[in-house]
């Protein structure tokens, strides 16, 4: 049985990888295919569309309409391949030396393929349901999942737990940091660089903000709790992009700073940034006093909540029982939709095939053996839910 399910998962994974679902693009072609695949097996899918209708989540339930179900959560979008030195077509699944190469093979279409391959197992005899929850736009801020989670809370009997299939080598991950993304834009006025008194350099004005962010990053690192289960320990801040100016001899009209805060459970990214936001507001007032067309703005691009390790959590106990994982508590620095499910009151863990070390890389791959382990997991899940 595991071999047949693994083979079926590989075939499905090849189809899923073939859809370029980079977050900047629509995922509807993939959703169409999954919906048709489920319909052929007698399973109805429900779309929860994005506000503009160009993308969709897909929710499908198998088994009785009863509480205590298990959510299998996966995101359909992938990160870009632009500029990466791939040695094979990233959107054609290619097997070499026991590895399945392709964008999204590990992160995280492999888990979705396993869940879909297991649908025939979930169709009969379950005493507790399985809910397939496939989202859009996880990679750019977990924007799709909240609407789907709201539908689950409103329309389904209360699930017992959620398994988010991010790559974890099929081991249980109990917690993750949050991910909040921010943008500051400083607007100046262009002038010849030999006449700085006639304009305002956005770059020069932004320099103090950049210095403040760097100092805050150092301070957060110094305050990290040595007992933290995360690596790196503590809440972190990094500046991802600085873009300003047009030429050496022109005062910069605009400077943009994009940065992120990876907050541990118990920390709040916006609270961490309270002094910095006051600096931005002060700079905005000073620039406007000099020139009303100048200023500084602070924008929240995304704010993904952390997932806290649960004391005696139902999800962790259940999934450890399925995997036989008796290892230590694991916590990861990246974010997922796990914090959103947990925030809705659903006990949640991460467990999925593949390694996060492969995620977002050129020549991303998933070991076939990881799919085999995932297939065995799905079989045990079906058996457990049949037993009630």
Q: Which residues are catalytic?
A: 77, 138
Report how far residue 262's alpha carbon sits from residue 335's, in angstroms, rounded to the nearest whole number: 8
DSSP state of 69: -
Nearest by Cα to 67 from 4, 140, 130, 158: 158
Burial 111-133 (b: 16+ CB within 10 A, else e): bbbbbbbbbebbeeebebbbbbb
SS3 state at 268: coil
**DSSP letters along 319-334, please?**
HHHHHT------EESS
Helix axes 274-290, 202-222, angle to 10 degrees: 170
Print burial letters for 283-310: b (CB count within 10 Å at least 16), e (below 16).
bbeebeeeeeebbbebeeebbbbbbbbb
Query: Which residue's structure tokens are 């097996």?
Result: 41
DSSP 251-263: --SEEEEEEEEEP
């Amino acid at each position: 049985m595991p071999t047949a399910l693994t083979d079926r998962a590989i075939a499905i994974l090849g189809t899923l990888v073939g859809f370029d679902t980079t977050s900047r693009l629509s995922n509807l072609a993939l959703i169409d295919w999954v919906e048709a695949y489920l319909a052929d097996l007698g399973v109805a899918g429900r779309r929860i569309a994005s506000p503009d209708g160009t993308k969709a989540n897909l929710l499908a339930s198998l088994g009785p309409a009863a509480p205590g179900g298990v959510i299998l959560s996966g995101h359909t979008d992938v990160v870009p391949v632009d500029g990466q030195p791939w040695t094979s077509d990233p959107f054609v699944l290619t097997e070499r030396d026991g590895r399945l190469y392709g964008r999204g093979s590990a992160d995280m279409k492999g888990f979705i393929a396993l869940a879909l391959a297991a649908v025939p197992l979930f169709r009969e005899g379950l005493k507790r349901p399985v809910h397939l929850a496939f989202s859009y736009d996880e990679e750019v801020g977990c924007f799709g999942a909240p609407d789907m989670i709201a539908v689950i809370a409103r329309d389904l009997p209360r699930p017992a737990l959620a398994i988010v299939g991010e790559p974890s080598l099929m081991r249980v991950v109990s917690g993750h940091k949050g991910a909040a993304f921010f943008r500051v834009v400083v607007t100046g006025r262009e002038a010849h660089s030999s006449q700085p008194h006639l304009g305002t350099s956005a770059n020069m004005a932004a320099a103090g903000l950049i210095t403040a962010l760097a100092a805050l990053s150092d301070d957060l690192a110094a305050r990290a709790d040595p007992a933290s289960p995360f690596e790196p320990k503590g809440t972190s801040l990094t500046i991802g992009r600085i873009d300003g100016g047009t030429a050496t001899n022109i005062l910069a009209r605009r400077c943009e700073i994009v940065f992120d805060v990876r907050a541990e459970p118990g920390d709040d990214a916006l609270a961490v940034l309270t002094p910095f936001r006051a600096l931005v507001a002060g700079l905005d007032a000073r620039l406007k006093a000099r020139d009303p067309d100048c200023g500084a703005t602070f924008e929240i691009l995304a704010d993904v909540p952390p997932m806290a390790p649960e004391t005696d959590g139902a999800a962790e106990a259940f999934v450890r029982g399925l995997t036989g994982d008796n290892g230590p508590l694991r916590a990861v620095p990246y974010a997922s939709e796990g914090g959103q499910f947990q925030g809705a009151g659903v006990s949640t863990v991460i467990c999925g095939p593949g390694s996060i070390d492969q995620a977002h890389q050129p020549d991303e791959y998933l070991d076939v053996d990881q799919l085999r382990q995932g297939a065995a997991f799905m079989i045990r899940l079906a058996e457990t839910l049949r037993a009630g």
